[in-house]
């Protein structure tokens, strides 16, 4: 791992993300009597009773959908995976601001390269370009004067496709799991697709097959529910420009969110490059980060590592735990605070992340 420091390639890529995923930590303890008492005495909006000190590093938070629970859009009533409410989002940002220095993701490489990470910094990121990033998250972001990054997919921005997890959640919860399972059996016969809605939803992630999942969900949605584009689930190009004008950074999440390691080499590279060109051609100033769809170590392969070697100005970013304490250009790490809002839980998650990273390194 000696060559990580200067940002050149690490051997056996993605070594760091894989190691972070492999670390086993103890089970989280419930809050102590003292922690519960503190929480009772100090309501959430009050100044923090105990200021935690965190290890120097760059803590990158990952978000997806941010909802207003009193005003859910149609798709937000069905697809709740990875979401936070506006209130949870606000609490988490306040916690981070009370303990760390906010930066834009684009500032992170230089800070690490110059070895200036003597204190904790944090950056906010969003994946998949959900429309509520503008309607719900942005007003909160503005209030705290933050500069987040949103990782977007051109096919979603053009409203040609809607993330298949959103479509399958709506299909299944409207009682069409058997029809979806049938179509999957036709397209990908080798799996035993279940007619049970919850089981099928899990199976589709476990046995993800690029293009077939997207094709089956789009077809069944069109046949039984309507036009996916009507959902307005994703930000369009004008909305992206609005965010950009508000100080958001826009970055590449591939053209249509197919898992990179599930595609033929040339298709995976095309998915990255076509999206970069789309953003550029449409007047979007794209940041130097490439967010790998889903973002576990298994979702990339050597083909993508080699592409990053050929594109030394691009940073690769994962989404499956870890904190950045030194520069590894091809392996930036992110983690989620889930839906937690109590100081005790947030503190625990952040400490787990640093512990996990230290063990992995």
Give the binding site for Zn ion (CB under 5 A): 127-128, 293
Query: Min. distance of Cβ 128 from Zn ion in angstroms?
Result: 4
Q: Which is nearer to Zn ion, 233 or 346 (CB)?
A: 233
67/91 with CB nearer Zn ion: 67
Do 254 and 163 meet the contact criterion of CB atoms below 8 Å apart?
A: no
Using alpha carbons, list the distances in angstroms from residue 46 to 36, 40, 42, 66, 84.
Answer: 15, 11, 6, 23, 21
CB closer to Zn ion, 128 vs 255: 128
CA distances from 68 to 11, 38, 77, 84, 163 (A): 44, 28, 11, 9, 20
Compute the least distance from the CB of residue 291 to Zn ion, in Å. 7
Structure tokens at 315: 């940073």
**Do 361 and 41 meet the contact criterion of CB atoms below 8 Å apart?**
no
Give the H/E segment covering residue 354. helix 343-360
Cβ closer to Zn ion: 251 or 341?
A: 251
Q: How far is the CB of 152 from Zn ion (least distance, A)?
A: 9
Q: Whose CB is nearest to Zn ion?
A: 127
- Residue 192 in 3-state DSSP? coil
Cβ-contact 306, 266 below 8 angstroms: no
Tokens of 189: 């016969």
What does the alpha-carbon distance between residue 312 and residue 328 come to, in Å, rounded to a whole number?
Answer: 12
Q: Which is nearer to Zn ion, 100 or 157 (CB)?
A: 157
Question: Which residues are within 8 A (CB) of 83 and not within 5 positions of it... i.e. 6 or more apart?
Answer: 64, 65, 66, 67, 76
* Smallest separation, CB 30 to Zn ion (Å): 32
> What is the closest distance, in whole angstroms, from the C-beta atom of residue 127 to Zn ion in the complex?
4
Pick between residue 127 and residue 239 the one whose CB is nearest to Zn ion: 127
Q: Shortest approach of Zn ion to residue 189 CB, angstroms?
A: 27
């Amino acid at each position: 791992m000696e060559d990580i420091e200067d940002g050149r390639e690490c051997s056996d890529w993605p070594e760091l993300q894989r190691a972070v995923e492999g670390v086993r930590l103890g089970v989280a303890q419930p809050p102590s009597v003292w922690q519960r008492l503190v929480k009772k005495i100090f309501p959430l909006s009050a100044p923090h009773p105990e200021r935690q000190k965190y290890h120097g590093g760059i803590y990158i938070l990952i978000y997806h959908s941010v909802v207003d629970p009193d005003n859910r859009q149609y798709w937000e009533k069905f697809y709740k995976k990875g979401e936070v409410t506006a209130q949870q989002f606000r609490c988490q940002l306040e916690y981070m601001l009370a303990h760390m220095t906010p930066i834009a993701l684009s500032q992170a490489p230089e800070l690490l390269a110059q070895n200036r990470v003597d204190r904790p910094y944090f950056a906010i990121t969003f994946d998949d370009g959900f429309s509520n990033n503008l309607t719900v998250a942005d007003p909160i972001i503005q209030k705290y004067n933050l500069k987040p990054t949103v990782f977007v997919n051109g096919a979603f921005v053009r409203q040609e496709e809607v993330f298949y997890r959103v479509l399958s959640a709506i299909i299944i919860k409207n009682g069409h799991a058997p029809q979806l399972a049938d179509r999957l059996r036709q397209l990908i016969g080798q799996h035993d697709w279940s007619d049970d809605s919850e089981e099928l939803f899990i199976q589709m992630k476990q046995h993800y097959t690029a293009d077939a999942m997207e094709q089956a969900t789009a077809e069944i949605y069109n046949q039984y529910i309507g036009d996916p584009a009507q959902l307005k689930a994703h930000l369009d190009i004008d909305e992206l420009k609005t965010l950009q004008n508000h100080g958001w950074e826009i970055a590449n999440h591939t053209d249509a969110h197919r898992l990179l390691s599930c595609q033929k080499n040339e298709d995976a590279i095309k998915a990255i490059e076509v999206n970069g060109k789309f953003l550029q051609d449409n007047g979007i100033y794209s940041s130097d980060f490439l967010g790998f769809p889903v973002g576990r170590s298994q979702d990339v392969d050597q083909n993508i590592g080699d592409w990053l070697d050929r594109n030394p100005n691009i940073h690769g970013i994962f989404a499956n735990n870890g904190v950045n304490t030194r520069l590894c250009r091809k392996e930036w790490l992110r983690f989620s605070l889930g839906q937690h809002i109590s100081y005790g839980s947030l503190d625990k998650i952040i400490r787990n992340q640093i512990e996990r990273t230290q063990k992995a390194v």
